[in-house]
Amino acid sequence: MTSTRVTSTETAPAPVAGARDDSAVRARGLLKRYGDRTVVDGIDLDVRRGEVFALLGPNGAGKTTTVEILEGVRRRDGGDVDVLGEDPARAGRAWRDRVGVVGQSTGAGNALTVRETLDHFARYHATPVPTAELLADVGLREAARTRVDRLSGGQRRRLEVALGVQGRPELLFLDEPTTGMDPVARRRFWSLVEGLRDRGTTVLLTTHYLDEAAHLADRVGVISAGRLVEVAPPAELGAGLRQAATVRWLEDGVPREVTTPEPAAVLRDLLAAHPAGEVPGLTVTRPGLEDVYLAMVGATAPEETAR
């Protein structure tokens, strides 16, 4: 592994020992405590081979701790985990060669250039991606001769991504990978992830950007206070919450609104009350992904900082 440093609503829990062939990641009852504080509270999670799975949640929800347990860099206090057919807590060198990690901090040395850094870490992989190809993929070709300590925050993040995919991993963990990137760099990164998926790489990423999850992920899991709230494709997340529509209008100049699962009935009544057929200030809106996400985490967001 190159280190640069969710219960699914779709499947019923089952023992990890019976993991299906299409599961790259399978966890049951995942538990992590720090003293008397439970950071990861009985999470069940399935990530299918070849998919991009995004884990969303507020700061302190337990996303990073969950991912680090799956990576094998943090020990769990309970539950069962199967990642690429092995328990990451006991997996050896061969397993680590199949996994790529892009954490929240870099492990790259500051004194080397970008090209020298990639050439150095290439020696740790049996079949590394050629350095010139990596530089082009992450948009660092022009910075190849720049020392790492002179890179911008976004450029350093792209270098970390390059190191994470250098060994052609079967499974790639990305912990908030586009933090610090400008919009152009983010879009370039999205294309890189899409290319990895097209080549069959499984990607598990955490992100604070809802547009990123909606664009990249086949499925999204929302985690809050150490528990997995829901798992679904982005367009289907929070289906129950999305059923209600908010109807807004002006009545004698005073704003009015009604939230209802049957907006057509409200509209009929409003139109009947306005024979001219025009209802002042009339709008009908349904919750978007951001609204659904905030509703999911708002009631259970942790007060203390976890990871």
Token representation of residue 130: 């050629």
Question: What confidence score (pLDDT) does residue 241 get?
Answer: 72
Q: How far apart are the first and last CA of the chain?
A: 21
Question: What confidence score (pLDDT) does residue 13 get?
Answer: 40
Q: Could you read off the pLDDT of 278-303 as tens digits, one per residue? A: 888 898 887 777 777 777 777 544 44
- Determine how many CB atoms are found less than 10 A away from the CB of residue 264: 11
> Residues 6 or more apart from 198 whose CB is under 8 A from it?
none
Question: What confidence score (pLDDT) does residue 6 get?
Answer: 36
Give me the DSSP letters along 212-253: HHHHH-SEEEEEETTEEEEEE-GGGTTHHHHT-EEEEEEETT
Most confident of 22-31, 158-167, 226-235: 22-31
Looking at residue 128, the DSSP 8-state letter turns out to be P
- Sign of the CA dihedral 169, 175, 180, 181? positive
Question: What confidence score (pLDDT) does residue 117 get?
Answer: 94
Q: Could you read off the pLDDT of 130-149 as tens digits, one per residue? A: 999 999 888 899 999 999 99
Provide the pLDDT confidence category of residue 8 given band limits of 50, 70 and 90: very low
Q: Give the number of C-alpha atoms closer than 13 A to the C-alpha of residue 10, restricted to the C-beta side.
A: 13
Question: What confidence score (pLDDT) does residue 152 get?
Answer: 85
Provide the pLDDT confidence category of residue 202 given band limits of 50, 70 and 90: very high
List the single range of 95-109, 167-181, 211-225 with lowest mean pLDDT: 95-109
Scan for tokens 């020992």, then name that residue.
Answer: 17
**Residue type at 247?**
V
Q: Could you read off the pLDDT of 20-49 as tens digits, one per residue? A: 568 999 999 999 999 999 999 999 999 999
What average pLDDT does the structure give for the chain? 84
Token representation of residue 185: 């760099």
Provide the pLDDT confidence category of residue 78 given band limits of 50, 70 and 90: very high
**Span 146-172, average pLDDT:** 89
Q: CA–CA separation, 147 vs 46, rounded Å? A: 40
- Sign of the CA dihedral 137, 142, 148, 151? negative
> Residues 6 or more apart from 30 whose CB is under 8 A from it?
40, 42, 43, 44, 45, 66, 69, 76, 78, 79, 81
**Residue type at 236?**
E
Question: What confidence score (pLDDT) does residue 108 get?
Answer: 60
- The pLDDT > 70 percentage for the chain reads 88
281-306 burial, b at 16+ Cβ within 10 Å, e below that, comes to eeeeeebebeebbeebbeeeebeeeb
Provide the pLDDT confidence category of residue 111 given band limits of 50, 70 and 90: confident
- Determine how many CB atoms are found less than 10 A away from the CB of residue 265: 12
pLDDT at 205 over 90: yes
